[in-house]
């Protein structure tokens, strides 16, 4: 079998993998939207079955032959970037899949389906003990999986690498130290500031149906294509990638701020996934790089765009028309309200400045659990101690504390660093965008999102997974990941809001 035949064979395997992945995404969407309680046991069996089928793709002789052939193949002999991206993505998935016994993959799928229900019950009851058995089992299973993938590497390094392709934990530790110290310095200045922000305007009660209508209008005007997606409501918002032209988003309408900005966040994920060009879709590389890179797109739209003054220069008049609560509130008051810095227990509603401290402390907790420096009995106390140290607040119950996130119940151990790294990517992309399109914010203020979305599509979104995260970052910015650009953005923004000197 020649080169083209080998290339076509792994392309077909990637197609089949994406089909099963899409089916799994459909299960996730339906599980959180309308799965009846009594249907959960059978759903677990179904998910386990299809996870097994997905794993079999890379256990086939065709996959093995393809991996042997392309592992020793000179990348420079590949015809173009698309072919190089296909081979890289195939080998990445192959190496992370075939080393893990199929029965372990099936076991994980069944366990996480059960664990998500247990997490929901524990969260509603604010009782960690309900979730603890499943959590311990998930960590045990994930650590075993890490050893299968690379027995010579620290299990946590392996798990984080499965979430973020090419990640180097030593580099992450350095970036997080810089980011943490930089945020603390800004926070100290804010605490000394005489500026007091009144955010009562966004803390009022809003009609749920009217809020739904406004949020749909908002994200569509920003660039989310609902003809390639849909809307749902859940406790913990997410975006689900079902197909290259079917990426659905969810939010929670309990409060104005959370509903609006969670929706913009998920729309950022969706826009990235929806915009892969036709050639990328044909090569089955659509959807984008997972982990930190995907989080960079959601965090970018949610905060760097969605919480900018220019964004609301355009949308605020419409908001005032639709909601009487804002009729007598000026734009400056509203802008400061949505950007108020106030440490919170919940990561998903944290202000833009202190947000990164939430994933950083989770990253540290996960590392301690995997290394055996912490145990699951002490986890709630450890969690609360970290919050007190980092944010100066202490959770009073499990719902405020250790049960904050659904991620562990989904098997996402080694993922939390992606959120903070995503912020760093976003700050670096913002700098590159402003150099290329200096008037992008003034156009947003006019309601013209074309320059923003064209730049994002041309430089990032259309390429899907063709380039690794490091390659993509260097193509767009010319540099490796830095902390300074995001910190410079934070200093510039919050020095204006809280009126302190940059120094």
Cα distance between residue 286 and residue 290, in whole Å: 11
Q: Give the pLDDT band (50/70/90) at residue 49.
A: confident
Q: What is the reported pLDDT for 482?
A: 97
Q: What secondary structure letter does DSSP report for 500?
A: -
The 10 Å Cβ neighbour count of residue 74 is 6
Identify whether 327 is a catalytic site residue. Answer: no
Interval 88-116 mean pLDDT: 89
Residue range 463-482: mean pLDDT, rounded: 97
Closest CA to 300 of 268, 331, 346, 271: 268
Q: Which two structure tokens, joined as six digits, stand for 54?
A: 């997905």
**CA dist 323 → 105, 217, 306, 317, 319 (Å):** 49, 14, 19, 10, 6
Given a cut of 70, is residue 51 above it in pLDDT? yes
pLDDT > 90? residue 378 = yes
DSSP assignment string, 334-400: HHHHHT-----S-GGG--TTTTTHHHHHHHHHHHHHHHTSS-SSSHHHHHHHHHHHHHS---SSTTT
Half-sphere exposure of residue 448, counting CA atoms within 13 Å on the CB side?
9
- Token pair, residue 227, equals 């003809």
Looking at residue 265, its pLDDT comes to: 96
Structural element, H or E, at residue 233 = strand 231-233
Q: Calculate mean pLDDT across residues 282-293.
A: 96
- Residue 501 has what pLDDT? 86
**496 with 188: CB under 8 angstroms?**
no
- Lookup result for tokens 């259309």: 462
Q: How far apart are CA 135 and CA 382, in angstroms?
A: 15
Q: What are the pLDDT digits (tens) for 214-229?
A: 999 999 999 999 999 9
What does the pLDDT look like over 235-287, one tens digit per residue? Answer: 778 899 999 999 999 999 989 999 999 999 999 999 999 999 999 999 999 99
Q: Which residues pair with 385 in a beta bridge?
A: none
Three-state secondary structure readout of 234-302: CCCCCEEEEECCEEEEEECCCCHHHHHHHHHHHHHHHHHHHCCCHHHHHCCCCCCCCCHHHHHHHHHHH
Q: Which helix (H) or strand (E) holds 101?
A: none
Instruction: Note the pLDDT of residue 1.
Output: 67
Catalytic residue among 38, 170, 209, 266: 266
Region 169-498: CATH code: 1.10.1370.30
Q: Decide: 197 and 337 in contact? Cβ < 8 Å.
A: yes
Q: Where are the beta strands (DSSP E) in 327-413?
A: none
- Tell me how far apart the 2 most distant CA atoms of the chain are, in Å: 73
Q: What is the mean pLDDT of residues 103-117?
A: 89
Question: Tens digit of pLDDT for each residue in 132-146?
Answer: 999 999 999 999 999
Lowest mean pLDDT among 77-86, 371-380, 488-497: 77-86
Q: What is residue 461's DSSP assignment?
A: G
> In terms of Cα–Cα distance, which of 322, 324, 70, 348 is closest to 210?
322
- Residues found in the chain: 503
With H, G, I as helix, E, B as strand and everything else as coil, classify residue 207.
Answer: coil
Q: Which residue has the tokens 């923004």?
A: 493
What 3-state DSSP class applies to 231? strand
- pTM (two decimals): 0.90
User: Model confidence at 50, in pLDDT bands (50, 70, 90)?
Assistant: confident
What pLDDT digit, counting tens, does each position of 411-431 carry? 999 999 999 999 999 999 999
According to the model, what pLDDT value does residue 243 have? 96
Q: What is the pLDDT of residue 37?
A: 80
Q: Is residue 199 over pLDDT 80?
A: yes
Torsion from C-alpha of 302, 163, 281, 32, nearest 10 degrees: -60
Q: What is the pLDDT of residues 326-367, one digit of tens each?
A: 999 999 999 999 999 999 998 988 999 999 999 999 999 999
> Confidence band (pLDDT; 50, 70, 90) for 439?
very high
């Amino acid at each position: 079998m020649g080169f083209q035949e080998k290339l076509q064979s792994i392309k077909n395997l990637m197609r089949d993998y994406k089909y099963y992945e899409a089916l799994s995404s459909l299960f996730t969407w339906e599980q959180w939207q309308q799965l009846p309680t009594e249907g959960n046991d059978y759903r677990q069996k179904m998910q386990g079955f299809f996870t097994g089928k997905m794993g079999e793709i890379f256990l086939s002789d065709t996959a093995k032959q393809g991996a042997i052939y392309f592992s020793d193949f000179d990348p420079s002999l590949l015809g173009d970037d698309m072919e190089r991206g296909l081979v890289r993505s195939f080998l990445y998935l192959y190496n992370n899949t075939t080393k893990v016994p199929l029965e372990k993959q099936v076991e994980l799928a069944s366990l996480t389906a059960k664990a998500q229900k247990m997490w929901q019950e524990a969260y509603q009851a604010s009782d960690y003990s309900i979730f603890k058995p499943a959590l311990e089992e998930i960590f045990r299973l994930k650590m075993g999986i890490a050893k299968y993938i690379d027995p010579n590497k620290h299990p946590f390094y392996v798990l984080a690498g499965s979430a973020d392709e090419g990640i180097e934990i030593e580099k992450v530790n350095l970036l997080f130290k810089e980011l943490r110290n930089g945020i603390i310095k800004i926070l100290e200045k804010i605490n000394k500031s005489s500026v007091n922000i009144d955010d009562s305007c966004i803390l009022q009660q809003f009609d749920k149906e009217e809020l739904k209508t406004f949020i749909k209008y908002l994200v569509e005007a920003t660039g989310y294509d609902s003809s390639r997606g849909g809307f749902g409501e859940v406790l913990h918002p997410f975006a689900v990638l079902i197909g290259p032209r079917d990426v659905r988003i969810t939010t929670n309408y309990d409060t104005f701020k959370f509903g609006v900005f969670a929706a913009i966040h998920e729309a950022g994920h969706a826009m990235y996934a929806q915009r892969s060009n036709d050639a990328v879709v044909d090569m089955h590389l659509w959807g984008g790089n997972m982990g930190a890179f995907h989080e960079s797109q959601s965090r970018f739209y949610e905060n760097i765009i969605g919480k900018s003054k220019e964004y609301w220069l355009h949308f605020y008049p419409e908001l005032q028309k639709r909601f009487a609560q804002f009729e007598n509130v000026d734009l400056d008051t509203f802008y400061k309200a949505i950007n108020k810095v106030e440490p919170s227990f919940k990561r998903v509603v944290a202000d833009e400045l202190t947000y990164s401290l939430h994933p950083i402390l989770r990253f540290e907790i996960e590392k301690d659990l995997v290394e055996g420096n912490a145990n699951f009995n002490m986890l709630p106390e450890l969690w609360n101690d970290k919050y007190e140290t980092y944010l100066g607040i202490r959770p009073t119950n499990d719902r405020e504390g250790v049960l904050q996130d659904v991620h562990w119940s989904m098997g996402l151990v080694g993922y939390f660093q992606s959120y903070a790294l995503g912020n760093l990517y976003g700050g670096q992309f913002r700098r590159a965008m402003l150099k290329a399109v200096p008037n992008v914010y003034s156009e947003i203020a006019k309601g013209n999102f074309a320059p923003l979305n064209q730049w994002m599509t041309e430089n990032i979104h259309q390429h899907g997974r063709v380039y690794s995260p490091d390659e993509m970052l260097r193509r767009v910015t010319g540099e490796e990941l830095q902390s300074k650009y995001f910190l410079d953005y934070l200093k510039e923004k919050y020095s204006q809001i809280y009126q302190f000197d940059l120094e």
